Each structure stands twice: as C-alpha cells, then as structure tokens.
Structure 1
Amino acid sequence: MEKRIINPWTWQDERNYVQAVEVKNVQSTLYVSGQTAINDQGISSSADMRTQIIKTFENIEKVILQADFEVKNIVRLTLYTTDHPAFFENFDIWQNWIIKHEIQQTTTVIEVKTLFETLKVEMEATVVK
C-alpha cells in the first residue's frame, strides 16, 4: 500500500489532519461503523465529553485490531458530536491519539442534535492495508 498526503497549506498541521490522502495498491479497506462510548455489555456512557472521547477511541482501536488492520493506517475519520465547544475543549485527547498512532487522515467534524441515548460523540473510520 502506498499513501500520498496532499496539503496545499500548512495550517492544518497543528490540527492533526491532512487535506487529502491518495492511497494506491490497497490490499484491503476496512469501513468502521460509528463507534461511541458504549461498554462491552452495550451500555451507553453518561460520562462527560472527555471520558466519552477516550472510550470511543478505545472502541475504534478494538474494532480495527480485531479486523487485523493497523490504527496508523486510518485514512479518514468522521466525527459527530452533540456539543461542538465541549469536543474542542478536549481536543488534546484527539491530538495526542493521532500523534501516538502516527495517523495522517482526512477529517470532518459535524455537530448533530442528538446521538443514541446519552452519547455525546461518535466516530467513523476508514482504514487501509
């Protein structure tokens, strides 16, 4: 698999995403359904935004690793949140997770009116190998 990053500017670098990712010679693509802060028993978290972001990342990792893919090969993350300001108040979690896994992904953040039950954040991922 070959990845080429396209960034006509540099301002996105401090936000830990890229403008485009071209992927060639892909062996396989994994489309990860929206992951949230739901525990192993299927119970939705009622915790604060910070705790829900952390649990959501744990769940994304679990799905990706179970599928025998690598987290670093995420090429797209779409994030839905019910509270845009609260998400960005906890943006350090996002940045640290992206840096830890050396991910270079495209990203879209969308504020929605509600998510399932008590959830505040949901993330979808596309991963290649």
Structure 2
Amino acid sequence: MEKRIINPWTWQDERHYVQAVEVKAIQSTLYCAGQAAVHEDGTSSAADMSTQLQLAIKNLEQVIHEAGYETKNIVRLTIYTTSHEEFMPCFNEFGDWIEKNDIQSAATFMEVKTLFETLKVELEATVVK
C-alpha cells in the first residue's frame, strides 16, 4: 500500500487531520460502522463525554485489530457528537490518540441531534492495507 497526504495548508495539523489521503496499491479496505460507547453486553453508556470517547476509541480499535488491520491506516474518520460543547474539552485526549497511533486521515467532525439511546459520540472509519 502506498499513501500520499495532500495538505495545501498547515492549519489543519493542530486539529489532527489531513485535507486528503490518496491510497494506491491497496490490498483491501475495511469500512467500520460507527463505534460508540457500547459495552460488551450491548448496553449503551450513560457516562460523561470523556468516558464515552475512550470506550468508543477502544471499540473502534477492537474492530480494526480483529479484522487484521492497523489503526495507523485509518484514512477516513467521521466523528459524530451530540454536543460539540461537551466534546471540545476532550479534544486533547482525542488528539493524543490520533498522534499515538500516527493516524493521518481525512476527517469530518459533525454535531448531530441525537445518537442511539444515551450515546454522545460515535466514530466511523475507513481503514486500508
């Protein structure tokens, strides 16, 4: 697999995403459904945003690794939240996860009216190898 990052500017760097990712010679692609703060028994978390974000990240990583992919090869990431005001204080911990995993993905951050039950954040990813 060959990845090329397209960033005409630098301002997005501190926001932990890139403007575009070109991928050539792909062996396979994994399209992950939105992963949220859902426990192993299928119940939704009612915890605060930070706790839900950490569980959503853990669930996304588990899906990616069980499929035989690497988190660093996320090329598209969509972040859904029911409140950008609640999410923004968690942005540094989200950024730490991005940096720790060397993720360079095209990303979209979207506030939505509601997610399933008590959920506050959901992460949807496309991963390649």
Q: Structure 1: how far apart are the matches of 2:78 and 2:4?
A: 20
4+ residue runs over 4 A deviation? none
Aligned pairs, how many?
Answer: 129
**Equivalence map 1:1-129=2 (5 Å):** 1-129=1-129
Identity, in percent, stands at: 64
Deviation, structure 1 residue 89: 1.3
Amino acid at match of 2:128: V
Partner SS state of residue 62, structure 2: helix
TM-score (norm 1): 0.99
Deviation, structure 1 residue 28: 0.1
Q: Structure 2: how far apart are the matches of 1:15 and 1:55?
A: 21
Q: Structure 1: how far apart are the matches of 2:37 and 2:112?
A: 16
**Coordinate RMSD, CA, aligned:** 0.5
Gaps of 5+ in 1: none
Amino acid at match of 2:124: E
Amino acid at match of 2:87: F
Q: Structure 2: how far apart are the matches of 1:77 and 1:34?
A: 10
Gaps of 5+ in 2: none
Q: Structure 1: how far apart are the matches of 2:120 and 2:43?
A: 14
